[in-house]
Structure 1
Amino acid sequence: MTRPAAPARLAAEKRGRQGERIAGWWLRLKGWSILGRRVKTPVGEIDLIARRGAMVAFIEVKARKSGVALNEAIDERRLGRVAAAAEAVAAMYLKPGDDMRIDVMLLAPGRPPRHLENVWHGG
């Protein structure tokens, strides 16, 4: 039998899903097409996969209760997991001549989304 999730965990999950919806909306307003949401791979999950022209972005979305908490929302380890997951599925999303990158979307109440582009450089 599975224990019910703790209320804090449920709130974080709800915030994360809402953040992904907002990030997808924001990206579409900026001319991106959403190709995938919560794409699971053997090495990790990609929150959003989006295309604009010949660029495909594999996007980690972080939603926090405050802007201050966003400063610690992403680190090299997390970015490395997203990069590994992107490599695992890139062939399914890339067309010949496409470029790819890892992006991060940071969201907190009362602030516009922050879109950090091309944040992974193979560290």
Structure 2
Amino acid sequence: MTRSERLARKTQKGRSGERLGRWAEAWCRLALRLKGYRVLASRCRTPAGEIDIVAARGDLLVIVEVKARPTEDLGHLAASLAQWRRLERAAGLYVAARPRLARHAVRFDLMIVRPRRWPLHRPDAWRPS
């Protein structure tokens, strides 16, 4: 396989992963809305990183990390400590830029999207130390 063929294959894999991620996030936004959450932002970029979904319900601000995999295997889906810390920094920047959200309690959730299943919602999946 030539270098250009390897690069083309890698680019194609990246595109399919991007599509899967966008689809998973849309599915999770729908699930959150049906649970009574108001989705405030999706794919929110901050200098510390990207937040998949920001939602609110009452005085609770929920920062959601979405994980999607093409198989049923859930063993390796938990977000790493580094990912949670990055998400915590990004959430701090998001709230700091929106003073009206400062009074909200913040919770970090994990949503796992599996084939042909409703998204699995893990509220309070991580707590900052």
> The TM-score by the shorter chain falls in which range?
0.7 to 0.9
TM superposition shift of 1:111: 2.1
Structure 1 residue 14 and structure 2 residue 30: aligned? no
- Structure-1-length-normalised TM-score: 0.88
Q: Find the aligned partners of 1:64 and 1:111 in 2 and give their Cα distance.
A: 12
CA distance, structure 2, for counterparts of residue 120 and residue 19 of structure 1:
20
1:14-52 Cα offsets, whole Å, 9 max, x none, are: 000000000000000000000001110001000100001
Q: In structure 2, how many angstroms separate the alpha carbons of the residues matched to 1:90 and 1:25?
A: 23
Structure of larger gyration radius: 2
- Give the aligned length: 119
Post-superposition offset of 1:95? 4.7
Question: Could you tell me which residue of structure 2 aligns to residue 42 of structure 1?
Answer: 47
Cα distance in structure 1, aligned partners of 2:84 and 2:70: 21
The answer to whether the 8 Å contact 2:95/2:102 transfers is no
Give the C-alpha shift of residue 66 in structure 1. Answer: 1.2
Name the counterpart of 2:88.
83
Unaligned runs of 5+ in 1: none
Does structure 2 conserve the Cα–Cα contact (< 8 Å) formed by 1:83 and 1:120?
no
Runs of 4+ in 1 over 6 A off after TM superposition: none
Letter aligned with residue 14 of structure 1: R
CA distance in structure 2 between the aligned counterparts of 1:29 and 1:71, rounded to whole angstroms: 27
Identity %: 33
Q: Which residue of 2 aligns with 1:71?
A: 75
Can you give the 5+ residue segments of structure 2 that lack an aligned partner in the other structure? Answer: 1-6
Contact 1:28 1:34 in 2 (8 A): yes
